[in-house]
Amino acid sequence: MNKNFIPAQAIIREIIRENEQIATFRLELTNKRLPFTFLPGQFLMLSVPHCGEAAISISSSPDRLPLVDLSIRRAGELTTAIHGMKKGDQVGIRGPFGKAFPIEDFANRDLLFVAGGIGLAPLKSVIDHCLFQSGLEEDAVQSITLLYGSRTPSDIAFKQAIESWQKQGVDCRLTVDEKDSTWNGHVGLVTELLTDVTITGNTKALVCGPPIMIRFVIASLADLGCGDESIFTTLERHMKCGMGICGHCHLDGRLICLDGPVFNVSQLKKLDVMEFAR
C-alpha cells in the first residue's frame, strides 16, 4: 500500500468488543491487489469520513494478513464514530508507518511484557507474532511473561487473547486497581507484580501504557537490573501526518512518527522526555 496521503479503503470484517470502551476492528483492504505488510510496533493512520484521521497501533500479528486489527478506545469524535460502525462498513487507512520492535533481537530471549489498559494493543502484535514463530523457528523466544494492569475487572481488555496465550504457555499475571465481587486476583499497581518476576541478562522488557505507569515500570526494571538497551516502549503522542512532514510529533530534535514510535530507554534518555526522568 502506498505510504502517501491518499487512504486505501478497508472493510470492517469483524468487531470484537474488548470492554465498554475498547473494541478491536478487524479490517481487510477492499483492493486485495494492493501490496500491504507491516511489522509489530508499527501504526496506521485511520480515517473516518467527516471525522478526521488518527494514528492507531496495529494490534494483530503480520502472520494474520490480509486481516489487520486496530484496537481502539472510544475517546473522541473519530473513535466514537468508528465505535458506531458495524461489520461491512468501510474506513480509510494509510501506512504502515514508524519503526517496529526489534523482533530479531528477541530470539532465544525471555520476554517480559508490562502493559496497562489499551497499552496492551501494540504489545499484543509482538506476543502473537512470537507465538506464531515459536512453532517455526529454532531461535524462537525462550519464554513470555505478561504483567497486565486494569482499573477494574470490567476494564480488562483482550480477554480472548489472554486466554489463548495462557493455553500456549504464556505466564499471564493480571492486577486491578479496584476489585469487585467477581475478582479473586491481585489488587494493586502493575509495578507490584514485578516483585515476583526474575530479571536476568537474558530478559528483554516491553512496556506500554499510561505515561506515569511507563515511568515507574522502567524505574523498577532498572532497579531489578534490566539494562537500558533491554527495555523498550512506544510513544504515540501527537502524531498527525505519520510521514514526518507536519512536525506535530517533534520531540527534542526527533520525529516520533519517523524515529519511533518504538524506542529503548537508552535512546529515550538522550531526549527530553519528562516521564522518563528519574
Q: Are residues 208 and 142 in the same domain?
A: yes
To the nearest whole number, what is the mean pLDDT of the chain? 91
**pLDDT tier at 246 (50, 70, 90 boundaries)?**
confident
User: Last residue of a domain, which of 80, 97, 114?
Assistant: 97
| Confidence band of 276 (pLDDT split at 50, 70, 90) | low
Whether the predicted pLDDT of 134 surpasses 80: yes
What pLDDT, on a 0 to 100 scale, did the predictor assign at position 275? Answer: 55
pLDDT tens track for 201-245: 999 999 999 989 999 999 999 999 999 999 999 887 667 767 777
- Is residue 52 a part of any domain in this protein? yes
- What is the number of domains present in the chain? 2
Last residue of a domain, one of 57, 75, 97: 97
Mean pLDDT in residue range 183-208: 95
Instruction: Give mean pLDDT, residues 31-46.
Output: 92
Torsion 257-260-262-267 (CA) sign:
negative
What does the block give as the cell for 46? 485511520
With a pLDDT cut of 90, the percent of the chain lying above it is 76
CATH number for the domain that contains residue 56: 2.40.30.10
Same domain, yes or no, for 215 and 150?
yes
Question: Mean pLDDT across the stretch 31-54?
Answer: 92
pLDDT band at 270 (very low <50, low <70, confident <90, very high): confident
Q: What does each C-alpha distance from 115 to 5, 27, 36, 145, 178 come to in angstroms?
A: 32, 24, 28, 11, 17
In terms of Cβ atoms closer than 10 Å to its own Cβ (0-12, 13-18, 19+), residue 244 is middle
| Mean predicted confidence (pLDDT) in 143-168 | 97
Percent of the chain with pLDDT over 70: 95
Q: Is residue 220 part of a domain?
A: yes
CATH of the domain at 117: 3.40.50.80
* 252 found inside a domain: no
Tell me whether residue 242 is in a domain: no
Residues 142 and 219 reside in one and the same domain: yes
How far is residue 72's CA from residue 57's CA, in Å, rounded to a whole number? 9
**Does residue 225 share a domain with residue 136?**
yes
Q: Give the model's pLDDT for residue 237.
A: 64
Residue 45 domain flag: yes
Q: Confidence class of residue 42 from pLDDT cuts 50, 70 and 90?
A: very high
Residues belonging to the binding site for [2Fe-2S] cluster are 241, 246, 249, 257
**The pLDDT of residue 105 is above 90:** yes
* Per-residue model confidence (pLDDT) at position 249: 73
pLDDT of the residue at 33 = 85
* Three-state DSSP state, 90: strand
On whether residue 244 sits in a domain, the answer given is: no
Domain limits for position 126: 103-234
